[in-house]
Amino acid sequence: MDLPPADALCFFGATGDLAYKQIFPALQAIVKHGTLTVPVIGVAKSGWTLEQLVERARASVTAHSGLDPEAFPRLVALLRYVDGDYHDPATFTRLRELLGPARFPLHYLAIPPSLFPVVVRHLSESGCARGARVVVEKPFGRDLTSAQQLNRLLHRVFDENAIFRIDHFLGKEPVQNLVYFRFANSFLEPIWNRNYVKSIQITLAEQFGVQGRGAFYEEAGAIRDVVQNHLLQVTALLTMEAPNPLSADSLREEISDVLSAIPPLSPEAVVRGQYLGYRQEPNVAPTSTVETFAAVKLWVENWRWAGVPIYLRTGKMLPLTANEVVVQLRAPPVAVFNQRDLSPTNSLRFRLSPEVQIVLEARKKKERERMVGEPVELVAVSDPGEDMLPYERLLTDALRGDQTLFARQDAVEHCWRIVQPALENVTPLFFYPPGSWGPPEQERVLEEGDRWRDPSVVAGPEGASA
């Protein structure tokens, strides 16, 4: 059932870190593009006034996107504020008053998951949930059981078509381009299968550490924080069948279908690492066994991908920050030119961040040599990145009622089912020095003949580092 456009936006956690870094810049951008004209009500318990919230918003956009002299005053004119305890029914009575005649409010829970039950219950009891939709920030639980509990909680108050599970990764332009590039180019379809693809690997590397978020990371770790959501979502986009027609329902059905074909991770196919110095971070246990690096191997057990290993890797304090997909094609069946340096032969590389590139890696004949080749990269796309903020796109879609880029309940549960055997420190922990590509034990997850493809600094249009 199609949802009407939202006629109010309420965001809980208005004074928090996420609002400061992501939400206020996104709201200013949505106002600038003319798609946000409804009241925006911030809710938090900080002892603040509306004027203080406005100054927080001003500092936010100045630091993260630049203050727009026309859009920011329009955003300020839409802002309202409720300061109160989430456990206090009076907070929600005040919210209901500020909603006024709004019939289809959007409630965005940019708060810790432990507060979801409290806020959802009070939204229901106060009448604020009537006709409303809710945006839930990840993580969607800590494991399969807690994800199912969260879904039951939400469904007691909201229908599935009114629940928007936000993963900002799906709002990124380059990630969406994976889907477009796959299904808009017919030359890929004949080779996009087990007959021609040898392996797929996805790397999300971060040059920085936990950045003062030690308490959060002690509860999460790399598998919960990145593998269970971001990397499995990209895996699904790379391996799913074509949605027909292109709609929220069909796209999310194909994502769920391919995730259902991935068996739970085998502990032998998981390597966890921790960078040296993590245990000295604030709010980190001195004997912590939480992983800051993870490398895993999984399989999609369906007709298209049977036998093709898919490698996922993520880590903090690595040599650079980048997100890259490499689809490695099989070698030619006969070595016509009798060269032994043809591995890898061909691959398709998607650079998702910080630069955006689609590169075909091939071989060509060296000049003035007798049938001796050399590698060459054919760059299909190269640009400095995206203009539209991920949260701008996702909040705009939520306001419109478009669920295309939001996770569905069954897909979330499939992702937890896949990583469940790797949770709770069931595999050994290996240490690695900051600035390396992780522990050498990560080689254990590779099939014979495969190797990790480390992202490198991408050259810009003039040959300089981008």
Q: What is the pLDDT of residue 346?
A: 86
Q: Residues of 428-458 as b/e, b for ≥16 C-beta within 10 angstroms?
A: ebbbbebebbbbebbeebbeeebebbebeeb
Is 10's pLDDT higher than 60? yes
Q: What is the pLDDT of residue 75?
A: 96
Q: What's phi and psi for 429, nearest 5 deg?
A: -110, 130
Q: What is the pLDDT of residue 456?
A: 84
Closest to 292 (Cα-Cα) out of 301, 284, 300, 304: 284
Instruction: Summarize the confidence of residues 61-70 as an average pLDDT.
Output: 92
Is 275's pLDDT higher than 70? yes
| Number of residues that make up the chain | 466
* Of residues 180 and 77, more confidently modeled: 77
In this chain, the answer to whether the domains covering 8-137 and 172-386+431-445 adopt an identical fold is no
- The mean-pLDDT minimum among 5-9, 178-182, 289-293 falls in 178-182
Q: What is the pLDDT of residue 464?
A: 32
CATH dotted code for 8-137: 3.40.50.720
Is 1's pLDDT higher than 60? no
Q: What is the pLDDT of residue 383?
A: 65
How would you write 252-266 as a 3-class SS string? HHHHHHHHHCCCCCC
Hey, where are the domains in the chain? 8-137, 172-386+431-445
> Best-predicted range by mean pLDDT among 77-91, 110-124, 176-190?
77-91
Helix 24-32, helix 71-78: angle, nearest 10:
110
Q: What is the pLDDT of residue 122?
A: 96
* Of residues 139 and 224, more confidently modeled: 224
Q: What's phi and psi for 211, nearest 5 deg?
A: 55, 50
107 tagged catalytic: no
Instruction: Summarize the confidence of residues 354-367 as an average pLDDT.
Output: 82
Kindly indicate the confidence band of residue 466, based on its pLDDT and cuts at 50, 70 and 90: very low
Q: Regarding the domain with residue range 172-386+431-445, which homologous superfamily does it belong to in the CATH classification?
A: Dihydrodipicolinate Reductase; domain 2 (3.30.360.10)
Q: pLDDT tens digits for 405-445?
A: 888 899 999 999 999 999 988 899 999 999 999 999 999 99
Percent of the chain's residues with pLDDT above 70: 93
- The mean-pLDDT minimum among 241-250, 283-292, 335-344, 449-458 falls in 335-344
Rounded Cα–Cα distance for residues 455 and 444 (Å): 19
* Of residues 90 and 245, more confidently modeled: 90
Q: In the structure encoding, which two tokens stand for residue 257, read together?
A: 């279908």
Is 343's pLDDT higher than 60? no
Rounded Cα–Cα distance for residues 311 and 204 (Å): 11
Q: In the structure encoding, which two tokens stand for residue 189, read together?
A: 């379809």
Rounded Cα–Cα distance for residues 25 and 39 (Å): 16
Is 334's pLDDT higher than 80? no
Identify the active-site residue in 107, 122, 230, 414: 230
Instruction: Summarize the confidence of residues 348-374 as an average pLDDT.
Output: 81
Q: What is the pLDDT of residue 138?
A: 78
Kindly indicate the confidence band of residue 214, based on its pLDDT and cuts at 50, 70 and 90: confident
Q: What is the pLDDT of residue 387?
A: 64
Mean pLDDT across the chain, nearest whole number?
A: 89
Is 361's pLDDT higher than 70? yes
Q: What is the pLDDT of residue 69?
A: 94
Kind of pairing between the strands at 293-298 and 310-315: antiparallel
